A and B are shown apart, each in its own frame.
Chain A
């Protein structure tokens, strides 16, 4: 915050030293500006390269569900189905991960023996260290086959719920499987943010609750959760941002189809990121440009979610 400038009282700097200071400061400042330039470049180049296909597109880009841009004349494509799939997969992940992450954070901060709490927290962090392509491999090579009987049971007993209507996919390469793997991937992000805010709950409020005869859970309900609410919400939104942009787990697990479907136990749907990874090698004609346009949509969605998350977090930390 307060940066001390080179003190005036220092001996008059020689010309050489002054050049060193100016050059170094310029270099540092230049690096900061370069980052802004890169970010502007990302947006600019995406727009420039998306433009040709968007102007040639004969379908409504935002409302259409078809994807036929790999031609020289009259391409027709839209992101409606992809955007739906992206949001659906991320929503499943968020719904599954958030409660568990809050539980883990409470466990590490208030329940685990303090001596091993940091090691246990480190184990959760390790989940974030596993590359997404390995999660994808695990999802398709281990988890999906294990889930086949589970899904069949779900269809049998919970099939009356529209989301779980059958017939269940025989490979379990479905939206729910992708959502489960995404949930595992965002778990450490939400946990880390929640841990931070729970740890910052003022001692005074925790003791006040205990001193009037609250049990540990009542203390958490009275003092910790209200205090940490905005941090948890912010963490969940950062997790959401990650889940929206995650490519490999979905690309490898999901058996895709460009449809808008709520059937979580059947194959179908597709996300923007996975679609780009799968389609890029075969893209011809307006194909690459159209994929870049889809990427631009993803960029915009994640940008909004992330900015909202930072806003919620910073507002929360100002309040306390």
Chain B
């Protein structure tokens, strides 16, 4: 490599042209090496009949990293070797993150499908003993829909109006304070939101009162800041020109907001709200405290007694611990994941459809 000399333009010792031509590994070398590592490791593992996908992946990765770094260090020099090493590690990090994703989805699907059928989705646990080979999640689906629906009805108006206030009206100190505390609220642990409602209910209705509305309020505490943040972002995307054009026509401010700003950002707002719903629909901890965990019958009334829901159903079945209970838990988890994924994909599609055209 270059050594420094005191000559103003000394290009170092040795011929730079040769240095630039210094060996490099062929372009397809990494791919070939990876394939051969995988094949050789698979062969060895099969020979010792201890093949497992995780072990195979791990050993292949280690073998690849070691060989590519050594080969590169010998042929291309230390700097290039380090670059190749980092590249391999960075790719590895991504694959490591995909492992739990694939594993969770696969395990839930494989275990959940056992009980996941029309019967399971259409009956409740009313009159079913925990260990009986019967019962389903209908009552929990009802509860989840009712509780999340009420939470959405509370959170969306407050959240969107706050976002409107922050973007269209607020100035100075109050604006900074609200933005700061919305951030703070985003970080409230979900169990603390549950405790808040427990504390509130104890004062309002006395100890031990559980119902769906309590759960909905707890979820709202978690949902409002998410709605504010996403709505704020969307409202800021509306070009100032549009507002000014409307003002210039003599349209008052509140009509400009309801007739111009909100319709323009409708797609983005909807996406944000759906993602917020997807986030709270799986919340468990606050609901264990507020909606109770032992309801077995269908209950549509948010203000009357315990109300089962999908997350708490999963949790309480796991706590019972029998084989049938685990089967129910997995099937309910599959139901819940399907609902969340549906919301997630719908949100993405709506976001795409209404995305502001940048080109």
Interface residues of A (CB under 8 A from B): 2-7, 10-11, 13, 17-18, 20-21, 23-25, 27-32, 34-36, 38-39, 41-42, 45-46, 48-49, 99-104, 106-108, 111-112, 120, 122-124, 126-127, 129-138, 140-143, 146, 184, 187, 191, 215-218, 220, 238, 241-242, 244-248, 251-252, 273, 276-277, 280-281, 288, 291-292, 295, 298-299, 302-303, 305-307, 310
Contact = CB atoms under 8 A, between A and B. Distances in A.
Interface residues of B, number: 101
B240 A38 contact: no
Contacts of B348: 122
B216 interface: no
Contacts of A13: 252
Provide the main secondary structure of the chain A interface.
Answer: helix
B90 interface: yes
A2 B240 CA distance: 10
A217 B87 contact: yes
A3 B168 contact: yes
Contacts, number: 285
A246 B189 contact: yes
Contact of B340 (A21, A108, A130, A298): A130
Contacts of B344: 126, 129
Contacts of B239: none
B190 A247 contact: yes
A142 B96 CA distance: 17
Nearest to A241: B187
B90 A132 contact: no
Contacts of A273: 189, 191, 285
> Does more than half of chain B's interface fall in helix, strand or loop, or is it mixed?
helix
Given A3-B169, A131-B281, A137-B333, 14 more contacts: A10-B250, A11-B250, A29-B169, A31-B159, A32-B174, A36-B177, A42-B192, A49-B198, A49-B199, A129-B340, A131-B282, A133-B315, A215-B80, A310-B180
A194 B253 CA distance: 39
A239 to B, nearest CB: 11
B198 A135 contact: no
24 contacts: A3-B169, A4-B240, A20-B252, A21-B254, A25-B169, A32-B161, A35-B224, A35-B228, A41-B200, A42-B192, A42-B221, A100-B93, A100-B96, A103-B89, A124-B97, A127-B97, A141-B329, A215-B83, A245-B187, A245-B191, A248-B285, A276-B285, A281-B293, A295-B195
B269 interface: no
B300 to A, nearest CB: 23
B252 A134 contact: no
Interface of B: 54, 79-80, 82-83, 86-87, 89-94, 96-98, 100-101, 103-104, 107-108, 111, 157-159, 161-162, 164-171, 174, 177-178, 180-193, 195-196, 198-200, 202-203, 207, 221, 224-225, 228, 240, 243-244, 247-248, 250, 252-255, 257-258, 278-279, 281-285, 288-289, 293, 311, 314-315, 318, 326, 329-330, 333, 336-337, 340-341, 344, 348
A35 B181 contact: yes
A39 B248 contact: no
B178 A32 contact: yes
Centre residue among B94, B98, B247, B311 by max chain A CB count within 10 A: B94
B315 A248 contact: yes
Given A281-B288, A292-B198, A129 B192 contact: no
Given A216-B83, A281-B293, A288 B282 contact: no
B247 A4 contact: yes
Contacts of A220: 86
A218 B103 contact: no
A216 B86 CA distance: 9
B283 A295 contact: no
Contacts of B225: 35
B167 A3 contact: yes
Contacts of B92: 103
B161 A31 contact: yes
B199 A36 contact: no
B311 A131 contact: yes
Nearest to A281: B293
A123 B161 contact: no
A20 B254 contact: yes
Contact of A39 (B158, B184, B250, B336): B184
B178 A127 contact: no
A248 B330 CA distance: 15
B179 to A, nearest CB: 10
A184 B221 CA distance: 25
Of listed A112, A134, A141, A303, residue having the most chain B CB within 10 A: A134
Contacts of A21: 252-254
Contact of B333 (A31, A134, A187, A303): A134
Given A35-B162, A216-B83, A245 B189 contact: yes
Contacts of A124: 94, 97
B284 A133 contact: yes
B184 to A, nearest CB: 6
A46 B340 contact: no
Contacts of B161: 27-28, 30-32
Contacts of B93: 99-104, 106-107
Q: Which of A99, A140, A276, A303 has the most CB of B within 10 A?
A: A276
Contact of B221 (A38, A103, A252): A38
Contact of B289 (A25, A191, A277, A310): A277
B189 A244 contact: yes
